Amino acid sequence: MTDRYAVLGHPIGHSKSPLIHSLFAQATAQDIVYTAIEPALDGFADAVRAFRDSGGRGINVTLPFKLQAFEIASAPSERARLAGAANCLRFGDGGLIEADNFDGVGLVRDLQHNLAAPLAGKRVLLLGAGGATRGALLPITAEQPQLLAVANRTADKAHALRRDFAAHAALQTSGYAELAGQSFDVVINATSSGLSQDTLPLPDGLFAPGALAYEMVYGKGLTPFLRQAQAAGVQRVADGVGMLVEQAAEAFQWWRGMRPDTAAALQRLTVPLV
């Protein structure tokens, strides 16, 4: 019997998830069908239950429903609980809804496996203190960086993360201006500036020699953040397409018990940063 999965978001027409999971299914000979669903903004919970009750096995969740996905779950993972958000649900017996957050795991996999940027012993900076950063903190901490810093336009929001994760990570938190005089080996833009085309007020000297500048947004070419990095002399820049593919592979493994090779999907989706 063909198993059914879906991605839910609003809007959803741009989603690459159906393509990615169809490539994974072909590569692993899994009998699944994967569709895209766009619930009304106030209809996420109803759409999830309807999909589950019709025999669906699991869903991916994208904006703006990741917080609601966590709230609807009856069995969230520790990652999802600390992030306060979920990007993947799995349905079990008796109406069980399990939730996990694979965004940070996908990010780390992309950095270390696809981009050959190990995090152990490195100075890592996350820009932004929203849900994307929350989801990334535990997976990055597990790789034992020398320093993990979070900076945000509103420093108080970054400081709140330090308190929330105090039992799990030793974070340096600040506003952007307080980064002056510091440099980092990996700088990750987890803000929405890549979508809004805003320029972040970053101090000079932020990028260490040989640094990697990573934009979580994908498919937008050289965002203002990546242009800032290049203007500062950074030669290694990347967008979040690898993160997208790798988190999808984590979800596929959670659902199907096998992790697909991601090379074909990465080759299909990667576009030059120009």
Q: Using an 8 Å Cβ cutoff, are 124 and 184 in contact?
A: yes
Among the listed residues 16, 66, 157, 220, the single catalytic one is: 66
User: Is there a catalytic annotation at residue 16?
Assistant: no
Catalytic positions, please? 66
